[in-house]
Chain A
């Protein structure tokens, strides 16, 4: 087994035993990135000097006998949506191409304090809006198992870099499935924590009531290690919950006895790929062989999840992204060119063939320079999917439509949460697919936004309900990974991790890595 085929847990043991230095590990990661990221494009930026300097400093401290943090020199990749002081944070957007935050996100602070090495910044759909990473302003990320296919999204880079064994640990964010779906499509383990489990402070907001930060890794054991570092209450995030963080890494290998698994009939309806269904049902059999009982359940409002999500998330996004107006933040259009164009438009109207009254009326309708600057800066800075969602959200919140869209969506959201509450009275976990098909071809759904939105079918409900979910690889179809999704009641991440680890002790899907050219 090569170095990078090892899990984070195994690497940490090597580091602790002195068999491996952090600098050696970082160098191996950098080489793997150098060799393969041209084809995969998981990373937007890799700062090898900074990573090596950090690794060497950690190695020196270890050599001195200092007690190291729980990540002990392991490299971590960060989705380019979390603020790391003075480092670029593009959010996959032209809008923030040059944005350097003057502060650290809570999660970045914690990783630094835990002696994680910040290896680089991973690709994503612009502002995390998308399910394929094709919406990145800097080009798509390719699936390491088949580089003509999508890696999923929006944390496509975060999943692909782990799948391609470029880094053992990575941080993603999940608003409607953005950790779980790419984890499933890339064949890695990804966990979306309960809303409020991890501080969102310093995460550039897409949809504030849905966004959560979580780990991606090779195994549940590794995910437990990273979640334990990043979870916990933060007074700077009013929505983070003051609850003790369990020692996930200590308990992850304890099996769960008498597990009751809920199978939602809605998850196995028309539209589910036969191979995916077969793999998921095989995985359920593994649990049954370990003593789990299977219970048929229903999540009747899940079918409204995508509709509900595509009202709430864009509504919040339309407001969250208002700050990128070229005044304080984000790309500003060339004001000189803009002013000249505006003057030319005015002149054309004034000297046009229309009558004087008509010309005056038309001139009065012209943008003020400020409004034109807003319009043009945003038109230039945002990509088409972000614009689409800003328009959707602005529409849904408008007077006269608010009740029919936003308010109705909030009601549906409550019903979806009630579905979960009801289901979890009878079962410990809900188990099912994470996507209806394996990874599709790059460009396949680019012209069909609605088809693209339906990719989120199995994942959005967890965000709407605020519950946690984990995805583990459970099979393959034509060489493409298939993921199994487990969902748990709020703040039962420990249960998710232990259940996932149970499965991974019985199977080796998570140990399989793609063959890269």
Chain B
């Protein structure tokens, strides 16, 4: 039986751009400073001040929009969005209303584990605006005081609005993950959700399948989601809730006003937010204190040329050039540009992409996670690790020993693989020596020899321990192969 409805999801993402200074003044945008220490007369809206656009913020916005395949407007203006709130000192927010600097783009999403079908999610627009301050409501001891911190006021935000193209909470999460990765590759934001550098609101409703066709339910906006996991859970909850409401009331889109609900992460529910009687009218009009910004086609091309290789293209290249799986390329690319560069150096140096991918995922990433390091601080360079992989491939050292002994030593001492091998006396054991050892062990263990001869080949495994005691440099796999090869003749 197919699902009785389709979930329709659109996302609005606010991204704090990684500029040193605010959108319309020179104040720092650093997070975590004591309240109201990163302000000036301009960002606190002192009477008489005027905004001046931060060109760098505009460039970061432009870079993102181009990477999202958006159309770039040659002429874009600023607008005032008027509303009263204590953390909005001017009584209006400078934003972009009817002429955003970019529109009509897309981002492709997919999942190598197959949890979702590949999909192209449309981008309606991306525009720039200034952030508001923060209100801190201190209701201790019955004091309903609110405190205002204006450090964040005027921080540049890029608002990205997707089309309602996602059909499941998993797709929404995949979109956000891919978007965040793209933003990270572009270097336009640190995307830290805890610090509010990336904020997500979702619009969701259902298309209920009825014998008379699909019926849309009222759209609900969900706020207060503080992680991608929370977005996924909130959407799943909300779809189910809307399904229940539909069954009880049969309410369709347009029959009730659009509702805003907040996600309660502890209780795992969305709750209706205080309903405003009057719908808000922001009285947008062109910001008279700023001049329109213009962008030439040549500037757009320049930005496009400087984007660098972006995640989707990089995954494809890694798969085709190094023969790794989509799963592997996804894991590597998700780790960021620096790790991909390390992988490429490793794969090229070792002459084996698959082995390089395995080493990276099993050994390097584990170490990075354990030590909480980034790849640029990793003590073993790609060239040195490539050398080790090549030695394993050549048969000079067994893979397990390479990982457990040599790699560990390289990590702690910073020495080259060759040096570690030399110091530990590790060297290739030649075939004749291995064969002599195999014969000797089989002869000394007639029960095992008999088992092998009767076809219980795994019995040979019991010889490895003894072999290693005799000579730690042997390759267990090769020794087993030889045992099985010579046993029938013994």
Contact = CB atoms under 8 A, between A and B. Distances in A.
A319 B80 contact: yes
Interface in A364-410: 369-370, 374, 394, 397-399, 402, 406
A323 B53 CA distance: 20
Q: Is the interface of A mostly helix, strand, loop or mixed?
A: loop
Given A238-B291, A319-B92, A101 B86 contact: no
A394 B52 contact: no
Interface in B334-379: none
Given A201-B48, A394-B283, A322 B53 contact: no
A96 B91 contact: no
A321 B80 CA distance: 13
B285 A399 contact: no
Contacts of B91: 319, 321-323, 325
19 contacts: A83-B48, A89-B48, A91-B47, A96-B47, A200-B50, A205-B289, A238-B50, A238-B52, A238-B290, A239-B291, A316-B285, A319-B91, A319-B285, A322-B84, A324-B47, A394-B283, A397-B82, A398-B283, A406-B285
A208 B289 contact: yes
Contacts of B281: 398-399
Contacts of B82: 318-319, 322, 397
A216 interface: no
Nearest to B150: A328
B46 A102 contact: yes
Interface of A: 82-83, 89, 91, 96, 99, 101-103, 105, 200-205, 207-209, 235-239, 315-316, 318-319, 321-325, 327-329, 369-370, 374, 394, 397-399, 402, 406
Given A102-B41, A319-B285, A236 B89 contact: no
Contacts of A321: 91
Contacts of B289: 205, 208, 238-239
B90 A323 contact: yes
Nearest to A82: B48
Contacts of A205: 47-48, 289
B89 A328 contact: yes
B288 interface: yes
A247 B53 CA distance: 31
What 5 A-B pairs have minimum CB-CB distances, sorted nearest first?
Answer: A322-B91, A209-B288, A397-B283, A208-B288, A204-B47
Nearest to B289: A208
B45 interface: yes
A203 B48 contact: yes
Contacts of A323: 45, 47, 89-91
A406 B283 CA distance: 11
Contact of B50 (A99, A237, A316): A237
Nearest to B274: A368
B442 to A, nearest CB: 88
A238 B144 CA distance: 41
Nearest to B47: A204
Interface in B31-55: 41, 44-53
A204 B48 CA distance: 4
B283 to A, nearest CB: 4
Contact of A236 (B52, B90, B92): B52
Nearest to B89: A328
